[in-house]
Amino acid sequence: MQTLRERKKQRTRIALLRAALGLFTTRGYEETTVDDIAAAVEVSQRTFFRYFANKEEAAFAVQEMVEAYYVAAVRRRPPEEAPMEALRRAVLEGWDGLSEVVESVVPVELHLRMYRQVESTPSLLAAHLRRSAETEEKIARVLAEREGLDVDADPRPRLAVAVFGGVMRVTERQWSQGDDFSLAGIRELTVSYLEQVGPALTESWRQG
Amino acid sequence: MQTLRERKKQRTRIALLRAALGLFTTRGYEETTVDDIAAAVEVSQRTFFRYFANKEEAAFAVQEMVEAYYVAAVRRRPPEEAPMEALRRAVLEGWDGLSEVVESVVPVELHLRMYRQVESTPSLLAAHLRRSAETEEKIARVLAEREGLDVDADPRPRLAVAVFGGVMRVTERQWSQGDDFSLAGIRELTVSYLEQVGPALTESWRQG
DNA sequence: TGTCAATTGTCAGTGGCTGTCACTAGCCTC
DNA sequence: GAGGCTAGTGACAGCCACTGACAATTGACA
């Protein structure tokens, strides 16, 4: 980030991002046109599309950073940890480091509000799920490497990641529909649900 | 299906569906315009949108039937079966009854080809994942009812379904990327992966 | 300071999708 | 079986996401 040009670009990008997330979370995603976002930052619509391939990409730019952080966290986990435990700890690291990662671009609170917007907007939810699937693929590869396996020959890394991802999805969804919108709230829910998966799969649900 | 009007409508709908799936699987989803589909059936574009809310809906109309069949199969499972076992058997019933369900509208082979098209088309994959999430919600409610639980108070039904769904997604994906495109192929893969989840989560992956 | 390259704006066009309105063809009643 | 009713359709206009092309501008750097 040296030259004036580069600084200017960075500023435009962040301004577009902030304007986009701000409008998405207040007015709604579908109700916000790309023209609205561009106008808010006083650039042309064409310029918006030079920074983001599409409207959706702007919505997930921050999430992108968070996911990269999470994948890196998995990669950093000590190799003696069992796969599921590594995923568990990495996710918690993710929640703990979220503020730091996000705050450099937008206020955490805005990002958390965006999270809920995603859950309540069908097209965004669809995009989110596809992106999650991509992230899961990356993580499966990391796990496979840790364990010295070939992802394409052994289904276990992908299976484990998919199962874990399923739990995370339920967590996100329940959090976004509850009334505790804090970072601590979703962290707690993560811990709680991960504890309950095992029993939920093996033990009877009746007469607790 | 009595009056001439109704029969005509049904025929138009199926013609649109067949034309759509045909074009999607040969030319590709993004490469097929709604105008193309309408032209193939010799109706106006506006008419297409009177039968399907959007292009995506045409792509998933058959899948919709299959999923409804699957949900019904879960509902039919005897209540003494453990939740995961009920899901397992219902899915297998689903594969077994697929031909019958699908063939009334389009050839099974076309539907299976569409399945693969979905996996390789980002926008379709996203839509598919969101639709799967909706189906999982329905199934979680069925399971909860079976077990006499409140879905919103007890996370276990949703967790179990999400875990199971995760495995199914890996199955679909691997099947669509392999070279056995038969119905038997995906059925076998389903059985195989479901057998491997348990061990994958609990046992060590190292030194066989 | 002048040249070059990166960045941006403008314009025109495509495709998905919607509202409106007029028209036609099947349906139903008398 | 003639005529009115209405579902289904086509034609048209318009919005929005997105793209390609080209011209104008502005920072970089000799």
Distance of CA B180 to the CA centre of its chain: 18
**pLDDT tens-digit series, residues B105-154:** 999 999 999 999 999 999 999 999 999 999 999 999 999 999 999 999 99
Locate tokens 């596809």: which residue?
A130
Kindly list the residues from chain A whose CB atom is less than 8 angstroms away from the CB atom of residue B162. 166-167, 169-170
Give the mean model confidence (pLDDT) for residues B169-193: 96
Give the mean model confidence (pLDDT) for residues A26-42: 97
Kindly list the residues from chain B whose CB atom is less than 8 angstroms away from the CB atom of residue A86. none
Cβ neighbours, 10 Å, residue A173: 16
Kindly list the residues from chain A whose CB atom is less than 8 angstroms away from the CB atom of residue B126. 126-127, 129-130
Domain A1-52 homologous superfamily, CATH: Homeodomain-like (1.10.10.60)
Domain B55-202 homologous superfamily, CATH: Tetracycline Repressor, domain 2 (1.10.357.10)
Q: List the nucleotides on chain D closer than 7 A to a protein CB.
A: 7-12, 16-21, 27-29
C-alpha–C-alpha distance, residues A88 and B11, integer Å: 52
Specify the pLDDT at position B1: 57
Please give the class, per CATH, of domain A57-202.
mainly alpha
Q: What is the 3-state secondary structure (H, E, C) of chain A?
A: CCCHHHHHHHHHHHHHHHHHHHHHHHHCCCCCCHHHHHHHHCCCHHHHHHHCCCHHHHHHHHHHHHHHHHHHHHHHCCCCCCHHHHHHHHHHHHHHHHHHHHHCCCCHHHHHHHHHHHHHCHHHHHHHHHHHHHHHHHHHHHHHHHHCCCCCCCCHHHHHHHHHHHHHHHHHHHHHHCCCCCHHHHHHHHHHHHHHHHHHHHCCCCCC
**pLDDT tens-digit series, residues A64-74:** 999 999 999 99
Specify the pLDDT at position B167: 98
Specify the pLDDT at position A208: 52
Share of chain A above pLDDT 90, in %: 95
Q: Is the per-residue pLDDT at A178 higher than 60?
A: yes
Q: What is the 3-state secondary structure (H, E, C) of chain B?
A: CCCHHHHHHHHHHHHHHHHHHHHHHHHCCCCCCHHHHHHHHCCCHHHHHHHCCCHHHHHHHHHHHHHHHHHHHHHHCCCCCCHHHHHHHHHHHHHHHHHHHHHCCCCHHHHHHHHHHHHHCHHHHHHHHHHHHHHHHHHHHHHHHHHCCCCCCCCHHHHHHHHHHHHHHHHHHHHHHCCCCCHHHHHHHHHHHHHHHHHHHHCCCCCC
Specify the pLDDT at position B208: 53
Q: Is the per-residue pLDDT at A207 higher than 80?
A: no
Locate tokens 């919108």: which residue?
A181
C-alpha–C-alpha distance, residues B41 and A122, integer Å: 30
Closest-CA distance, A193 to chain B, in angstroms, reads: 8
Nearest Cβ partner for A165 among B125, B164, B166: B166
The crossing angle, in degrees rounded to 10, of helices B122-147 and B55-76 is: 20
What is the band of A4 on the pLDDT scale with cuts at 50, 70, 90?
Answer: confident
Sequence ranges of the domains in chain A: 1-52, 57-202
What is the band of A2 on the pLDDT scale with cuts at 50, 70, 90?
Answer: confident
Subset of residues 43-82 in chain A with CB less than 7 angstroms from any atom in strand D: 45-46, 49, 53-56
C-alpha–C-alpha distance, residues B62 and B178, integer Å: 23
Specify the pLDDT at position B62: 98
Cβ neighbours, 10 Å, residue B10: 11
Specify the pLDDT at position A106: 96
